[in-house]
Amino acid sequence: MVNLEWYRTFKSVYKNGNFSLAAKELFISQPAVSQQIVMLEAHVGYKLFNRKSKGVEPTEYAKLLNNLIIDALDRLENVEQGFRAKASDANRLISVGVSKHLFSSLGSALLSEFDFIDFSFNDNDALFELVNSKKIDFAIVSKRFDTFDTLIKKVGSTKLVMVASPNLDITMTQKHIQRMDLYTIEAHLNQFKWFSHDARIPHVKLFWLHVFNKKRPSLQPNYIIPNEYEMLCALSQHNGVALTYHCNAKSLIASNKLQLLWNAPSMPAEDIFLLSGKNEALQSAFNLILKRLQNLL
């Protein structure tokens, strides 16, 4: 049976024209190179190299063999190198910053891609500073930062949607939403119990601005749970409504743990970005994270 290492050795000898140089390139001894060439010659039935005063010269059979195998051997080596690079990335400790409100929907998806991750939670500006100062490798942010020393790519977009607990009767509210009777819709929404991840109700204010054209909604949150995903889990068990990023709610909606009450067309989408320092050693992991997050959004 043919040994692929014979062909690797043949390729190196053919390229370098010298057994000693091939041995250095392959990190094996010169006698081992000679032995593998002898075994390959015995296998193919032809002499492949003629010795000269300095090095060796390929025979016509060697030139033919090289033409036949070089493309396939290059492809095989590229696959092997790519596999090793991916395995190396998976086994390397990487540090990823993300908002605690996006961890469950986006950050946790990286657990299946890497063996070691050190997560940190912070807001957009703080995460940028951590990446820019090389204190963390990557950050998932909802704000664009452009500097010379950082690399940023758009992952996708998400928007605010209004969700309700599964047992809440939202029939009349949805009818008013279909008719776009904003005055009546707002009156209905004020009757519900509201869940929020922040006492300042930033999601509610943004939604009211774009949908109702009002800067100050009249409602007050009944329950403040300072983690958006945990807030949604609590909402799924108690009657009420909330505004949340769609990426955080879609799995709960799909499993009927929440109802989608209102996906307002006038509500703009918010872009999500992946940020890292400009470092070739991080490029492979950056591309892997980017692809995984793009599949989610």
- Domain 4-91 grouped into CATH 1.10.10.10: yes
Residue 122 φ then ψ, to 5°: -170, 175
In words, the CATH class of domain 94-297 is: alpha beta
Q: How far apart are CA 36 and CA 169, in angstroms?
A: 78
Residue whose tokens read 């930062």: 145
Dihedral, CA atoms, 228, 229, 234, 237, nearest 10 degrees? 140
Q: Would you state the pLDDT for residue 117?
A: 93
Q: Would you state the pLDDT for residue 2?
A: 59
Q: How far is CA 266 from the centre of its chain?
A: 29
Q: Would you state the pLDDT for residue 64?
A: 87
159 close to 246: Cβ distance less than 8 angstroms: yes
Q: 250-269 as b/e, with b when 16 or more CB fall inside 10 Å?
A: bebbeeebbbbbbebeebee
Q: Would you state the pLDDT for residue 272?
A: 95
Q: Would you state the pLDDT for residue 83?
A: 58
Q: 47-84 as b/e, with b when 16 or more CB fall inside 10 Å?
A: ebbeeeeeebebeeebeebbeebeeebeeeeeeeeeee
Q: What does the domain layout of the chain look like in residue ranges?
A: 4-91, 94-297
Q: E strands along 47-190, which residues?
A: 49-51, 56-58, 93-98, 116-121, 138-141, 150-164
The 3-state DSSP class for residue 62 equals helix
Q: Would you state the pLDDT for residue 282?
A: 87
Q: How far apart are CA 142 and CA 156, in angstroms?
A: 10
Q: Would you state the pLDDT for residue 41?
A: 87
10 close to 19: Cβ distance less than 8 angstroms: no
Sorted by sequence, the CB contacts under 8 Å of residue 200 that are 6+ apart come out as: none
Residue whose tokens read 């390729």: 11
Which pLDDT tens digit goes with each residue over 139-162? 999 999 888 888 999 999 999 999
131 close to 275: Cβ distance less than 8 angstroms: yes
C-alpha to C-alpha distances, 260 to 49, 177, 221, 244, nearest whole angstrom: 73, 12, 19, 11
Q: Would you state the pLDDT for residue 218?
A: 83
pTM of the model: 0.66
- Residues of the chain where predicted confidence (pLDDT) is lower than 50: none
